[in-house]
Amino acid sequence: MTTAWGYGLATIAADGTTLDTWFPSPALGEAPADAAAPAEVTDGVGADAVRAVTTQAQLVEIDTDAAPASTPDAYLRLHLLSHLLVRPNEVNLDGIFAHLPIVAWTTGGPAHPSVLREGRARLQRAGVSVIGVDKFPRLLDYVVPDRVRIADAARVRLGAHLAPGTTVMHEGFVNYNAGTLGASMVEGRISQGVVVGDGSDIGGGASIMGTLSGGGTERVVIGERSLLGANSGIGISIGDDSVVEAGLYVTAGTKVTYLLPAGPRTVKALELSGVPGILFRRNSVTGAVEALPRTGHGVQLNEALHA
Ligand SMILES: CC(C)(COP(=O)(O)OP(=O)(O)OC[C@H]1O[C@@H](n2cnc3c(N)ncnc32)[C@H](O)[C@@H]1OP(=O)(O)O)[C@@H](O)C(=O)NCCC(=O)NCCSC(=O)CCC(=O)O
Ligand SMILES: O=C(O)C1=N[C@H](C(=O)O)CCC1
Question: In terms of C-beta density within 10 A (0-12 exposed, 13-18 middle, 19 or more buried), how is residue 29 classed?
Answer: exposed
**Does the annotation count 271 as an active-site position?**
no
Could you report the predicted ipTM of this complex, rounded to two decimals? 0.93
Q: Which of 169, 170, 201, 306 to mutate to test the pocket of ligand 2 (most atoms within 8 A of CB)?
A: 169
Average pLDDT over residues 244-252: 97
Q: How far is CA 144 from the centre of its chain?
A: 14
pLDDT at 11 over 90: yes
CA distances from 246 to 47, 203, 216, 255, 290 (A): 51, 8, 23, 18, 13
Instruction: Say which amino acid occupies 300.
Output: Q
Q: What's the rounded Cα separation, in Å, for the pair 271 and 253?
A: 9
* Catalytic, out of 118, 187, 218, 303: 187
Residue 87 pLDDT:
98
- Does the structure show a pLDDT above 80 at 22? yes
Q: Would you state the pLDDT for residue 92?
A: 98
In this predicted structure, the answer to whether residue 217 has a pLDDT above a threshold of 90 is no
129-145 per-position pLDDT tens digit: 999 999 999 999 999 99
The reported pLDDT for the residue numbered 98 is 98
